[in-house]
Amino acid sequence: MAAPTIHVSGQYDIAGQRIFGPIDLTLHAGQWTCLLGQSGVGKSTLLRLIAGLDCVGAFSGTITTTDGPTHNGQISLMAQSDLLLPWLSVLENIVIGNRLRGTEPDFARAEELIAKVGLTAYRNEKPAALSGGMRQRAALARTLMEDRPVALLDEPFSALDAGTRADMQDLAADVLKGKTVLLVTHDPAEAVRLGHQITVLTPDAAIQWQPPATEPIRDQYAAETTACQAALLDHLRRDK
């Protein structure tokens, strides 16, 4: 399946209170859209709406794609919580999608992803034996294992130290190349490094922030990258 373009237009309310909108946002096919904004503005809610999941409030508007409903077997989702099943091993958690669908897992691919997230020595361990960062890496491997045209990632690197975070960003960018990706993040540096498109969600709009002209993954030390990061951080601080 080819990666679709996704268009979101509308507003979201909870108990009659406007959370965000009206917004107009396009997630371009085969590109990373990095979504930032203040806590509580509805970034995770927007991600859940695109995934076709139930939300507490009401969305008034449309979510359309170039090839039909995105939740029709096209999406892989990584939530803020790792959602690992505690009675399964790391390997079993990573292939859980195949198990639920009744299909044979590609164990060679699963083992490769386990190695790439640095968990080979823990492949047979249960989640309780892992640190928070290790659990997040296992959840990332499970999401990458799904190999769907659309990937929705909600702060997927937040529990990782700086070095591991950069490594996992590199891995995700490589495995998800050509996919339509929405990354929710609080980190301007992460957004500038990874995003083809950078969007700041506010209560009133989805504002497009101009990324550097270079292609992701960007050199984090390049002058245009650091300048964009600094300006974006300043904007987010003033937007409180």
DSSP state of 105: -
Alpha helices (H) in the chain, listed in sequence order: 43-51, 90-94, 96-101, 107-116, 132-146, 162-175, 188-194, 223-238
pLDDT at 240: 64
Residue 191 counted as domain residue = yes
- Tokens 């969007």, located at residue: 199
Tell me: do 119 and 182 sit in the same domain. Answer: no
Tell me: do 50 and 93 sit in the same domain. Answer: no
Tell me: do 27 and 127 sit in the same domain. Answer: no
pLDDT at 232: 96
pLDDT at 71: 73
Tokens of 140: 């990332």
Residue 117 counted as domain residue = yes
Tell me: do 125 and 221 sit in the same domain. Answer: no
Tell me: do 125 and 229 sit in the same domain. Answer: no
Tell me: do 155 and 65 sit in the same domain. Answer: yes
Helix %, strand %, coil % of the chain (to 5): 35, 25, 40
Cis amide prior to 217 (ω within 30 degrees): yes
Q: Report residues of the chain scoring pLDDT below 70.
A: 70, 240
Tell me: do 153 and 131 sit in the same domain. Answer: no
Tell me: do 38 and 61 sit in the same domain. Answer: yes
CA distance 80 to 82: 6
| 3-state DSSP assignment of residue 180 | strand
Tell me: do 68 and 166 sit in the same domain. Answer: yes
Residue 142 counted as domain residue = no
Total of domains in the chain: 2
Tokens of 26: 């396009």
Q: Which domain holds residue 93?
A: 85-136
- Tokens 């997230």, located at residue: 117
